[in-house]
Chains A and B, each alone.
Chain A
Amino acid sequence: MEILVCVTRVPDTAENEIEVNSDGTDIERDDLVYSVNEWDNYAVEEAIQIRDRVGGTVTVITVGDEEAEEVLRREMAMGADKGVLLADEAFEGSDGLGIAVILKAEVEKGNYDLIMTGAQSEGGTAEVGGMLAALLDVPFASLANQIEIVDEKKIKVGREIEGGNIEINEMDLPCVLSIQTGINEPRYVGIRGIRKVASLEIPTHSVADLGLEAAAVGAAGAKVKRLDYFMPELGEGAEMLEGDTEEIIAKLIEMLKAKGGLK
């Protein structure tokens, strides 16, 4: 089975506090720790496990600049067979649809049975997988948390829906799935694993290589544009307890008693 996984490089929210920069044009990017988008990492692990069961290859691709290559290499260290970097100045400022258009062009250069994305990334739009499927005119399922390969042409997919219930669907291949966290336990990648794949070549495909019009992607083609960043309005906001730990705990215990939090 030929599997393609679309990944992205993002600031790691487990490692960073995200703040708005001084003029509100971006988040503060100094000293940010980047990593592969968490959802994508589950998708790559799932692809590797499927390949190890039924054979085939796993290819990882990303739209980004040269620095994005590090996440491809990381996923290759996990076990992906190939990586392709989709990079071009014309891609800058792409909205979700623009990203899907770029990915579609790369998908069509291959012969993939199964295409996966993470269910969402740092922007929380959860849009690229569904758009890619629609552009390719193939079936789509979001929030996949179970995948069973029935045969060469068919899979069963569990979607995580409200209340922790799972919606089971049958789908024909090729198709696109967006992967939910928790579907598997992604393997650990150490420095040594990344060194092993350090010399593997990762080709770069540009707007011309992909046969795209520059005006159809990037900021030029975007219908949806971010104007600024700002700190969320705090609403009511919590009453912050101040003082040394002893004082804080004493206040908290009084509150818990009053609210029925201690039995």
Chain B
Amino acid sequence: MTDQVFAYIEHKDGVADDTAQELSVAAGKINPDAAVTAIVAGFGDNLDAVCGEMAKTYPTVWKLDNEAFAYPNAEVIRSALVSLLPENAVVLIPHDTFGMDLSPGLSVKINAAFISDVVGFEGISDSELTIVRQEYGGQVSTHVAADIASGAVINIRPGVFQPDEGTPITGEVVDKSGDIGDLTMVRKFIEIVEAEVGDVDITKSEVLVSVGRGIEDEDNLEMAFDLAKAMGADVSCSRPIVDAKWMEKPRQVGTSGQTVKPKVYLALGISGSFQHLGGIKGNPFIVAVNKNLKAPIFQVADVGIETDILDFIPELTESIEEL
């Protein structure tokens, strides 16, 4: 059932993404004995470097070399995978902006179950795989059972399955470039427009006062700026604040915003979606203030305070100013 497990390797500039190792760990949770095949699609010299690196973790590495893969266009890669994958394959893909683009459609085309954003595996019995995922922005978890008799496409949440320091193996790189069939170009990649640069570079900030939906109103942002001024910190925010156009995109922390590495991160009225947490690196001291005790931010914060930030921020600011 799960002896044909594949891992889709994302890479850039000749370096595999962190998820490349994490998928190997996740595959081991499904079936510790599976011989997992890494799939590396790309173009040119960088591709060989990634394949070589992957052969230290995966017993088999499929190299897919084609000019059409110079940029990872999920629509084109899907068509290659549909022609290459054997029947009933189990394919692991990172749940990021590429995986969200690729996987649902791939599952339809190979007639496999799709299981999204998996954070845990609970075992397999016959053809029923039980996994753990989250709903409502991480406020509740669920067990989900999937019938994988005709295969599965499984999106794995990045950062969850942390690799051990494994002993490198000597896997085999197999060039499958000749087998990828006709690539249908239904969506043409044009260019990447780089993110705008803001007046403050929060990626360099040592202390961040970060606000989320709990700030409730644009006028209340002043509180956060006052607190930041008293602390000598910079102000950042979570996605809803940028969606509401209350702050500029360069101040947004998260996978679709900036990756920050402060010493101290004050999360004010931020629920803590995995996309937001994915933008906080370097193991900072995290203080979470939120009136919802169920907010996932409390699971990762060092210190939590259950209160309404609109009352709390001005009092904290005043106390710091009096120091």
Contacts and interface: CB of A to CB of B under 8 A. Distances in A.
Interface of A: 11, 13-14, 17-20, 27, 96-97, 100, 119, 122-131, 133-135, 138-143, 156, 158-172, 175, 178, 181-182, 185, 223-241, 245, 248-250, 252-253, 255-256, 259-263
B171 interface: no
Interface stretch (B1-9, B57-65, B93-101, B173-181): B93-101
Interface residues of B, number: 98
B261 interface: no
A124 B137 contact: yes
B231 A261 contact: yes
B114 A231 contact: no
Nearest to A170: B188
A134 to B, nearest CB: 4
13 contacts: A17-B292, A140-B75, A169-B187, A171-B187, A228-B143, A232-B138, A233-B141, A238-B288, A238-B300, A239-B303, A248-B307, A255-B287, A262-B320
Nearest to A261: B264
Contacts of A223: 113, 146-148
A48 to B, nearest CB: 18
A168 B140 contact: no
Contact of B294 (A17, A171, A225): A17
Contacts, number: 269
Nearest to A42: B243
A20 to B, nearest CB: 6
B187 A164 contact: no
A61 to B, nearest CB: 19
Nearest to A239: B303
A124 B116 contact: yes
Contact of B305 (A122, A123, A135, A241): A241
Given A18-B140, A130-B108, A168-B190, 20 more contacts: A17-B139, A97-B107, A126-B100, A130-B104, A139-B75, A140-B105, A159-B97, A160-B256, A164-B196, A165-B194, A168-B192, A169-B190, A226-B144, A229-B140, A232-B134, A234-B298, A245-B307, A250-B319, A253-B320, A262-B323
A185 B105 contact: no
A36 B83 CA distance: 39
B143 A226 contact: yes
Given A231-B140, A232-B134, A134 B104 contact: yes
A240 B306 contact: yes
A26 B142 CA distance: 9
Given A27-B136, A143-B100, A131 B190 contact: no
A189 B157 CA distance: 35
Interface of B: 73-75, 96-98, 100-109, 113-117, 130, 133-148, 186-196, 206-207, 213, 231-233, 239-240, 242-245, 249-250, 252, 255-259, 263-264, 266, 271, 285-288, 292-294, 296, 298-307, 311-312, 315-316, 319-320, 323
A240 B293 CA distance: 10
Contacts of A238: 286, 288, 298-304
Nearest to A141: B187
Contacts of A164: 195-196, 249-250, 252, 256-258
B182 to A, nearest CB: 15
Nearest to A135: B108
Nearest to B97: A161
Give the top 4 A-B pairs by smallest Cβ distance, nearest first. Answer: A263-B232, A130-B104, A238-B304, A261-B264
A253 B319 contact: yes
